[in-house]
Chain A
Amino acid sequence: MGVLKISRELITRMISHALDEYPLEACGLLGGDAEVAKEVYPARNDAASARVYTLNPLDHLRADRAAEAAGHGIIGVYHSHTHSEAYPSQTDVAQAPDPGWHYVLVSLKRRYPVVRSYRIEAGTIVEEDVVEL
């Protein structure tokens, strides 16, 4: 099983972003090295929807540059599910751009936010451990 290592601070920032954007879906990118997240880059959801997201391409470019300037790369993407579980939807799987990325879901369906991470390769979803640094 894969793993995503990430600090509690970064997890909190993803949850905060998801709550800020509620009831719309929030999205952003993870910067880091392989399995270790070092930064999160909140992005605009161009779809401005409670059901889908389209990560703003300019925000993606800026995140890519910021990660590179910090000596890292983009290693994944996060987004919120406001009314469903923290599990990739068919849309998430169909549009997953990079099999090497971590796909982090922040679900706001329950009383407390749930954060889980997955790998998506060739249509196959594999959950990975989220380990706090």
Chain B
Amino acid sequence: MMIDLRKLLCWFCLLLSTHGPLYAALDIEIFGGGAAKIPIAIMPFAAESNLPQRITTVVSADLERSGLFKLVDTFGLVPHDLEQVNYVDWQNRGASALVIGNTAMLPDGRIEVRFRLLDVAKRVQLAGFGGTVGPDQLRAFAHRIADIIYESLTGEHGVFSTRIAFVRKQGNQYALQVSDYDGFNARSLIEYTEPIISPAWSPDGSKIAYVSFEKKKPVVYVQTLATRERKAVANFKGSNSAPAWSPDGSKLAVVLTLHGNSQIYLINADGSGLQRLSQSPGIDTEPRFSPDGRWLIFTSDRGGSPQIYRMPLSGDRAGMAERLTFEGDYNVSPRYSPDGKRFVYIHRNAGRFNLAVQEFSTRQMQMLTDSKFDESPSFAPNGRMILYATEINGRGILSIVSSDGQVRQRLSSESGDIREPVWGPMLKQR
């Protein structure tokens, strides 16, 4: 395990010291033997060191973060084209897949990129792809290559072209930002001098619901990304917060103090049709819909400490809510996995706040992180990774952990205090 880690660190150090733009990760931690990981060799593409962004560093980071791949050392080998490949070299290094490619700068400033994914044992090409892109699209193109490799080798959808949203606080300015899944290319959707919390993507990725304190109290807004048009959808007496979209995008669960304590209500996505869902004398908050839309999972302190509960969408009458967590006295922020079979949440233990996952069927709990202050977990749309906020030197940063807990990676961020990250949906057509 240590050897693996050191080897990887060296490999990255080599990249950092010999090539231009900084690699996205501040550090990477690998846990476990990785026996089930696919060993893949990714050759630096021909002439890519001349580009503003090296493509294979992005591809390598994408694949490794997923927790399903182990990067094989390419040092000393040189193939860029099919005829240069000596499969025996790669078999000796333990690679079962090999990625090679070329880049070429065109006279108009655009870049031509070609790559091949090869099966080392069968000595055949599994996928190939090429295209011409502008310099500012190199990262997006690299994410597409990673998606193709991921899908070819695992049979699952890759999520490397998806986006995330988060709140960046800088001085007294709060910005709701949208970026690539790895934190790059961030741009602001809105900026205010009052706090913004709890962004939530609509299922089709076209809108984000969030809570803004701009009216000196929490109000839920829905904003359309393309037009930036926004609407207050929950602005009732008292506090309005914790929006969650129904899987079909037609409704929002929200938390209101309209009738006293924080309780869960249902509204239509346009703000109409208020309906109370939870009925407890305590706090009910952080609702999330199950992927099939039949259940709500939420945080409640009805039992004396905050714990995770589940109730049918038909409501909480007659004690229909079922308590799901029993370990410890502080379990909050539950989110369903995309397949609905488990949920991730924040568990407090010995003063630390960490990510844990629990299976619905077995009630088995597994800790995924061990730093001090982890918050706001959210699953990637394919369920393989979990994005969350953690803290370094008093500053919030983004981090990703593979959902088996074996690969953990902090993402860099230019500046500011990052919080409330949430992974966006898989889009049919980008």
Report if A and B associate in a common complex.
no
Q: Interface residues, chain A, CB within 8 Å of chain B?
A: none
